[in-house]
Structure 1
Amino acid sequence: MAALTVTAACTACGACLLTCPTHALIPDAGRLRVRDDRCTRCGECVEICPADAIRLADDTAGHDGDTDPEETR
């Protein structure tokens, strides 16, 4: 399964928040957090992001829960 990550390139424009059909992206202290339990890895946010700051990658770590944007910096 692919993991969704938000990189430091994020400008917090909010385009992904409006696009995500499952509301998996949540603003948290000026950053975005991915709710892995809601994310279906549809890629809508990846396509809409003007800063190209959202990535889908193979989840080789097998993490669960929420993805902290600090992990990608």
Structure 2
Amino acid sequence: MEAKHGNAHRLIGAKIAYCRSVRGLTQSALAERIGISSGTLSRIERGQYWQSLSVDLLLDIAEALQVEVSAFLHPNELD
């Protein structure tokens, strides 16, 4: 079953992956910084972690990547 807002989750995940790669971080390195498994981060980046993607987790990811959380939510923020 896909989340009601599956496209939004995929967009958020893609933006997280983009920010991570621009900063030269591996999934493992970012996952360690925010206290989650690299498998969980992989699912987030693919837009497949929609059941438990919390605001707190998004804030932790944004902080670790040194971006505003709004960058993940606005379609053209990182473009």
Fold equivalence (TM over 0.5): no
Pick the structure with more strand per residue: 1
TM-score (norm 1): 0.41
Higher gyration radius (CA): 2
Q: TM-score, normalised by structure 2?
A: 0.39
